[in-house]
Amino acid sequence: MIVRLLFSLLLSLLSAAHAAQSPDIDVATVPLKAVRLGAHSYFVQGLPGAASSENQGFMSNAGFVVTRDGVVVFDALASPPLAEKLVAEIRRITRQPIRVVIVSHYHADHFYGLQVFKKLGAEIWAHRLAEGQTRTDEAALRLEQRKEALFPWVDENTQLLEADRFIQGDMDFEQGGVQFALRHVGPAHSSEDLAMMVKPDRVLYAGDLVFRGRVPFVGDADGAAWIKALDKLIALNPKVLVPGHGASSRTPRADLVFTRDYLKFLRTHMGKAARELVPFDEAYENTDWSAYRDMPAFDEANRGNAYNQYLRLEAGGE
């Protein structure tokens, strides 16, 4: 009996050692729970902060819509283990097959989990301007950075998958009796930004066009196009808004208007300084940022946002 127990213990230890060495065994342990937003619509909310080992890369949102003939997913999260955890949440709610995954844009925190959905037979959709994004030098560098920052959740087995279907522009479609509206709202946060409206629920998945409750990351985006994109989303008149980061909103117009007005503020003040040949540092110091200074991510994002818009406007951009 003792020999048998020792043998069983040895097998358990060997199995655990093998699992620790297996690149497929690592699982995400961060909390991830689906929140229902409408009759068909759900989302999971990422944790605050930048991608790190502490949050295992779970810092962006994703959503899914359950229909009578399958599930439509919006964004695939930042790693295969996170995507597996999202699939488990979907399976907790429905056994319907996952038919389509729509990628809002090809930034690492939104599409690194695609291989999990592809393996399940889902078709990946993205905007045409995303074609080739996985094959750029920038994409390769980003993957190496994520392998270092998020190992073992991102590793040599993480695949950068392109879409199976590229959408040229706006498109309405139906899945399992539910009507959807896809809207191309780039170039804004990225050139290929897509937003998705679930028509019967009036739930809008906005991707990174909206960073709710914090200063958005604008970078060198086309601020004028972003403002037009937000106007396009406001016109959809959603009841619920799911931003790319942060909590969902039952006051979507206010959140869309806030982001739009922040961009207008940046462009008004930085554009005036650029036209009058005021150096950026002086212009930045003389701008009244009090409406935004106490918001999360102000220190991390605002100066860079202002500088890049200054450079764009200085160069004669819109």
**289, amino acid identity:** W
Distance CA 170, CA 187 (A): 13
Q: From residue 95, give the alpha-carbon distance in Å to each of 31, 33, 37.
A: 22, 17, 19
Residue 189 has pLDDT above 90, yes or no: no
Cα–chain center distance at 121: 22
Q: Is 64 exposed, middle or buried (0-12, 13-18, 19+ CB in 10 A)?
A: buried
pLDDT at site 155 = 96
pLDDT at site 52 = 87
pLDDT at site 3 = 39
Contacts of 185 by beta carbon, 8 Å cutoff, 6+ apart: 193, 194, 195, 206, 207, 209, 229, 230, 232, 233
Which of 40, 48, 63 minimizes the C-alpha distance to 110?
A: 63
Tens-place pLDDT, residues 239-250: 999 999 989 999
Residue 212 has pLDDT above 90, yes or no: no
Q: From residue 112, give the alpha-carbon distance in Å to each of 103, 115, 139, 225.
A: 10, 8, 11, 27
Residue 8 has pLDDT above 80, yes or no: no
How many Cα atoms within 13 Å fall on the side-chain side of residue 93?
A: 23
* Cα angle 183, 240, 66; round to 5: 75
Predicted TM-score (pTM) of the model is 0.86
Task: Spell out the domain ranges in the chain.
Answer: 23-250
Q: Is 47 within 8 Å of 58 (Cβ atoms)?
A: yes
Q: From residue 60, give the alpha-carbon distance in Å to each of 5, 40, 44, 83, 111.
A: 46, 21, 9, 12, 10
Distance CA 214, CA 302 (A): 10
pLDDT at site 17 = 38
Q: Which CATH number is 23-250's, of 3.40.50.360, 3.60.15.10, 3.40.50.1980, 3.60.60.10? A: 3.60.15.10
Q: Is 78 within 8 Å of 110 (Cβ atoms)?
A: yes
Tens-place pLDDT, residues 46-61: 998 778 888 999 999 9
Distance CA 74, CA 103 (A): 6
Tens-place pLDDT, residues 258-317: 999 999 999 999 999 999 999 999 999 999 999 999 998 899 999 999 999 999 999 886
